Amino acid sequence: MKDLRDKIVVVTGASGGIGKALALAFADEGCHVVVCARRKEELEKVASEVRARGRKALVVPTDVSDEEQVRAMAAETFKAFGKVDILVCNAGFGWTGPTHLMERSDWDKVFNTNFFGVIHFIRHFVPSMTRQGQGHVVIMSSIFGITCIPFGTLYASSKAALIALGECLRSELKRYHVGVTTVCPGYIESDLIARTHFKKVDEEARRLAALVTPMPVEKCTRIIIRAIKKDKGVIVITWLAKLLWYCKRLSQRLYEGILLVITLSTQRYVKE
Ligand SMILES: NC(=O)c1ccc[n+]([C@@H]2O[C@H](COP(=O)([O-])OP(=O)(O)OC[C@H]3O[C@@H](n4cnc5c(N)ncnc54)[C@H](OP(=O)(O)O)[C@@H]3O)[C@@H](O)[C@H]2O)c1
């Protein structure tokens, strides 16, 4: 999809961070934007900024983990715009905790938003794209879907599942001229770390993120928009994320050594 002008874009998790920046970047490209997340007031602010750029914006507060809300959100979107050209499944949150101490309900919370929150949107928006014979889906995974982060199993597993989903979907939707891009960022400037749920891990560990400089969110959105235009399959963002990914492919021993260093420097924060 080379020219984004006048395209209708749905962005989930658009009340802050990468989703908000993407909504504004799409407006700058000439798109009309539907913004959804749970915090209505934040969405209204984003919508005002989209309208200030001369583009249309629709606010639909939605909890992506609730399929009925997503169904209603899709109906409202199609009523307002009649179609959707680009779907960005970006909503998600972080979870940290030792794997063997996590309960089934913890897994449900993470997967219901990070994984099923994407499935719901695919079920309610992609059929219209296959019918119209064009479109693009962006799935927000993470570098931790490819490489691992000790004590980040729930988050990493949900993001790894999204990579499998994105790759299968891309092959299946090719014949309908619908592209799929799976995005695997490293550390990007946003509220993700501040809002990450810590269970049986000391809050102090949150400060470890300060050891890495995040990529400015606008740079990240420029890379994502370029990937949509070029119909890229999987993209990894930030040099550190790319380095970790290359190490994993280069040598399993080297990669496990890196994981061991991360484990040794973080396990003191675990509260058993
Ligand atoms: N920042 C990074 O370093 C990084 C790296 C790799 C991947 N990612 C991924 O990028 C995506 C965006 O995260 P971010 O960094 O921009 O973090 P963020 O600033 O915390 O934004 C997360 C967004 O997701 C929304 N959200 C969370 N749960 C939701 C739910 N149940 N229903 C609807 N919306 C929900 C939040 O809105 P409400 O609270 O208003 O609902 C918010 O708009 C996430 O999927 C994250 O895993 C981020």
CATH of the domain at 174: 3.40.50.720
Does the residue 2 lie in any domain? Answer: no
E-state strands within 142-239: 178-185, 197-198, 234-237
Name which residue sits closest to atom 34 of ligand 1, judged by CA.
Answer: 37
Cα–ligand 1 centroid distance for 90 (angstroms): 6
Cα–ligand 1 centroid distance for 158 (angstroms): 13
| 155 noted as active-site residue | yes
CA 4 to chain centroid, in Å, comes to 20
- Distance set, CA 247 to CA 94, 237, 261 (Å): 24, 15, 14
Does the residue 230 lie in any domain? Answer: yes
Cα–ligand 1 centroid distance for 254 (angstroms): 31
Look at residue 79 in the predicted model and tell me its pLDDT. 98
Q: Are 228 and 181 in contact (CB under 8 A)?
A: yes
Does the residue 179 lie in any domain? Answer: yes
Q: Which atom of ligand 1 is nearest to the CA of 14?
A: 43
Does the residue 3 lie in any domain? Answer: no
Q: State the DSSP string of 132-159.
A: HT-EEEEEE--GGGTS--TT-HHHHHHH
- Distance set, CA 20 to CA 48, 65, 183 (Å): 12, 19, 16
Q: How many domains does the chain have?
A: 1
Does the residue 1 lie in any domain? Answer: no
Structural domain that includes position 18: 8-269
Does the residue 201 lie in any domain? Answer: yes
By CB neighbour count within 10 A (0-12 exposed, 13-18 middle, 19+ buried), where does 79 fall?
exposed
Q: What share of the chain is helix, strand, coil (3-state, %, to 5)?
A: 55, 15, 30
Catalytic residue among 155, 187, 255, 269: 155
Cα–ligand 1 centroid distance for 109 (angstroms): 14
Look at residue 206 in the predicted model and tell me its pLDDT. 87
Q: Which residues contact 106 (CB under 8 A, 6 or more apart)?
A: 95, 97, 154, 199
Number of Cβ atoms within 10 Å of the Cβ of 260: 11
Does the residue 233 lie in any domain? Answer: yes
pTM: 0.97
Q: Which atom of ligand 1 is nearest to the CA of 38?
A: 41
Angle between helix 116-132 and 104-114 (nearest 10): 30
Three-class DSSP labels, 242-254: HHHHHHHHHCHHH
Does the residue 105 lie in any domain? Answer: yes
Look at residue 179 in the predicted model and tell me its pLDDT. 98
pLDDT in tens, the chain (272 residues): 889 999 999 999 999 999 999 999 999 999 999 999 999 999 999 999 999 999 999 999 999 999 999 999 999 999 999 999 999 999 999 999 999 999 999 999 999 999 999 999 999 999 999 999 999 999 999 999 999 889 999 999 999 999 999 999 999 999 999 999 999 999 999 999 999 999 999 888 888 877 889 999 999 999 999 999 999 999 999 999 999 999 999 999 999 999 999 999 899 898 87
Name which residue sits closest to atom 1 of ligand 1, judged by CA.
Answer: 188
